[in-house]
Amino acid sequence: MDSILVRGNGPLSGQIPIAGAKNACLTLMPATLLTEEPLTLVNAPRLSDIRTMTELLQSLGAEVTSLQSGQVLAMSSHDISNQTADYDIVRKMRASILVLGPMLARCGHAVVSLPGGCAIGARPVDLHLRALEAMGAELELRDGYVHASAPRGLRGGTIDFDFASVGATENALMAATLAKGTTVISNAAREPEIVDLATCLRAMGAHIDGDGTSTITIEGVDRLGGATHTVVTDRIELGTYMLAPAICGGEVELLGGRISLVEAFCEKLDAAGVDVSETAAGLTVKRRSGDIKAVDVTTEPFPGFPTDLQAQMMALLCTAQGTSVLEEKIFENRFMHAPELIRMGADIEVHGGTATVKGVKRLKGAPVMATDLRASVSLILAGLAAEGETRVARVYHLDRGYEQVVSKLSGVGADIERISGS
């Protein structure tokens, strides 16, 4: 099993290109099931999760071709030959549930295994199912599968989410494009990935209004066409690499970045003593003189502080001056990286959904183990500024969400390498 070896090596300098958003692309890909015509995605990230979604779509009869070294995905679902999303594929990735709404809307029937993914809490799919029921779907849970049917087609309905779930909003949005009549989604998620999906669906002929707000209205159409769509910049990869010069010092430009994608995150960086400025090509990040200052962080749905940047932010705050409190309000069990940071000398106490981090002068390299996707990169960030050598094991988690981590960080001066089979 591969591992990542990191040695603290001082300030960073240079440019890091930011890929297309994993979470956006994994939502856009199932949209091909809504139409017989071709859908092409440009700026696709090259990740194992994208390969898993490709495998899933192909198992349903879709044609998916990877072009330009994987950065363009050409898809066609003119023939959906199979309406069962099998457990052996779905268990690998939670986003697999996003084939349910499109397949049900177009075919009137779908059988989808309950999904897997990172072990960061229960993350139930009940909101997805209730949204589809509000559009007239008949659902049954049997032997670990969702059996869904709408023999007379889906119809417009009113959906009021208890929680602004990104995945449930995406599933409902796609299904509603082919439903008869008007669907209104209240307490909808507002993330940039939702806006990106709606933009693509409109290019395919959907009638959608209100994306980016908490109320989305969809007027169903009889059919959707094809489109070519550019995937939005990955705001989580962007935020992750913004933390590299914040932790190590130096100045790095993140190509393709925009403050509007990570505004709440930028506010916390500013309070901690990190300058962020927009350039013609992206964002420049530079730590101000002196120590990083402690800040308190509470994760919230967009436009609040992203839960997917909480682990990385904790790595920064481990050496901040003072005590920081991080409160996780999105997912349970999302402090599994804390014990590994403690192995590196961090002073962290976790009580339920709250972690208290007392800054130490410096972290020390140690063998650590990644527990999930975002935890894996937080340990790499910590290792960049630690004294000595840090070896991060189980980096298959990393491959799900970050492309070319070693080359991107080594390109700005980090001492990092991937060790095969160890």
Residue 252 banded pLDDT, cuts 50, 70, 90: very high
Q: Is the pTM of this model over 0.85?
A: yes
Q: CATH homologous superfamily of domain 3-19+234-419?
A: Enolpyruvate transferase domain (3.65.10.10)
Q: Is 118 a catalytic residue?
A: yes
> Between 144 and 118, where is the model more confident?
144
Band the pLDDT of 371: cuts 50, 70, 90.
Answer: confident
Q: What are the binding residues for phosphoenolpyruvate?
A: 22-23
DSSP letter string, 70-139 = GTEEEEE-S-----EE-HHHHTT-GGGGGGHHHHHHHHSEEEEEPP----SS----HHHHHHHHHTT-EE
- Hey, is 158 helix, strand or coil? strand
Strand partners, 146: 112, 141
Closest CA to 305 of 281, 286, 333, 327: 327
pLDDT band at 94 (very low <50, low <70, confident <90, very high): confident
From the list 25, 118, 266, 318, the catalytic residue is 118
Cα–Cα distance measured from residue 46 to residue 61, given in angstroms and rounded to the nearest whole number? 22
Supply 157's token pair.
Answer: 């309905």
Domains 3-19+234-419 and 22-230 share a fold: yes
Q: Token pair of 116, please?
A: 């897997």
pLDDT tens column, 196-242? 999 999 999 999 999 999 999 999 999 999 999 999 999 999 999 99
- Mean pLDDT score, 340-356: 97
Q: Are 384 and 9 in contact (CB under 8 A)?
A: yes
Q: What are 181-199's pLDDT values in tens digits?
A: 999 999 999 999 999 999 9
pLDDT value at residue 124: 66
pLDDT for residue 122: 45
Mean pLDDT for 254-272 is 98
pLDDT, position 421: 80
Average pLDDT over residues 12-29: 97
Ordered DSSP codes for 241-308: HHHHHHHH-EEEEEET--GGGSHHHHHHHHHHTEEEEE-SSEEEEEEPSSPPBP--EEB-STTSB-GG
In this prediction, residue 120 has a pLDDT band, given cuts at 50, 70 and 90, of very low
Q: Give me the torsion for CA of 44, 201, 84, 22, rounded to 10°.
A: 30
Percent of the chain with pLDDT strictly greater than 90:
88
Q: Which residues of 90-107 are buried (b: 16+ CB within 10 A; e: fewer)?
A: bbbbbbbbbbbbbbbbbe
Which residues fall within 8 angstroms of residue 409, CB to CB, at 6 or more apart? 12, 16, 244, 380, 384, 416
pLDDT of residue 422: 52
CATH superfamily, region 22-230? Enolpyruvate transferase domain (3.65.10.10)
User: How is the chain split into domains, by residue range?
Assistant: 3-19+234-419, 22-230
Look up residue 41 and give its DSSP letter. Answer: E
Residue ranges of the annotated binding site are 22-23, 94, 123-127, 308, 330
Q: Any idea which of 85-99, 120-134, 238-252, 280-294 has the lowest mean pLDDT?
A: 120-134
Averaged pLDDT, 118-147:
82
For position 200, what pLDDT does the model report?
Answer: 98
d(CA 259, CA 276): 8
Residue 118 has what pLDDT? Answer: 40
pLDDT tops 70 at residue 86: yes
What is the rounded CA–CA span in Å between residue 373 and residue 69?
23
